[in-house]
């Protein structure tokens, strides 16, 4: 097993776990409830941790999580319905709710 991600934000750790499991990588969360002990324990010891079960999956898992956190996901797009400019990470127009059409 190898730890690949940790955060004080338990939701972010669960999201990362879901991303990995969607790609077929088995993972588990450890130290999830230690945030309530912060102050009694050093803060760095109280982060929830995401571990992959198979060491062989660690590199692929790290790549998946790095891609998820990229800010540059490609060019912005223009809504075909209302003409609004939308950022690349969105699949729906924020203004009218229309889905992005395929290029």
Q: What is the pLDDT of residues 56-103, one digit of tens each?
A: 999 999 988 887 655 556 788 999 999 999 988 888 999 999 998 876
10/50 same-domain check: yes
What per-residue confidence (pLDDT) applies to 58? 95
> Which of 101, 9, 12 lies closest to 90 in space, CA to CA?
101
Q: Give 66-73's long-range contacts (Cβ < 8 A, gap of 24+).
A: 68/16, 68/19
Total domain count for the chain? 2
13/47 same-domain check: yes
Mean pLDDT of the chain: 88
Domain that holds residue 18: 2-68
Global model pTM greater than 0.75: no
31/59 same-domain check: yes
94/64 same-domain check: no
77/63 same-domain check: no
57/77 same-domain check: no
Q: What are the φ/ψ torsions at residue 33 (nearest 5 degrees)?
A: -100, 10
Question: Tell me, what CATH number does 50's domain have?
Answer: 3.30.70.1530
81/56 same-domain check: no
Q: What is the pLDDT of residues 13-36, one digit of tens each?
A: 999 999 999 999 999 999 988 877
Residues 6+ apart with CB under 8 A from 86: 76, 77, 78, 79, 93, 94, 100
13/44 same-domain check: yes
CA gap 74, 41 in Å, rounded? 42
Give the max Cα distance, the chain: 56
What per-residue confidence (pLDDT) applies to 81? 94
């Amino acid at each position: 097993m190898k730890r690949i991600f940790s955060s004080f934000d338990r939701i972010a750790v669960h999201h990362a776990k879901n991303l990995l499991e969607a790609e077929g990588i088995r993972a588990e969360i450890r130290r999830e409830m230690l945030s309530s002990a912060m102050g009694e324990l050093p803060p760095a010891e109280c982060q929830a941790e995401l571990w992959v079960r198979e060491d062989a999956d660690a590199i692929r898992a790290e790549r998946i999580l790095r891609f998820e956190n990229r800010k540059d996901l490609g060019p912005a797009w223009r809504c075909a319905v209302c003409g609004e400019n939308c950022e690349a990470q969105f699949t729906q127009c924020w203004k009218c709710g229309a889905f992005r059409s395929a290029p």
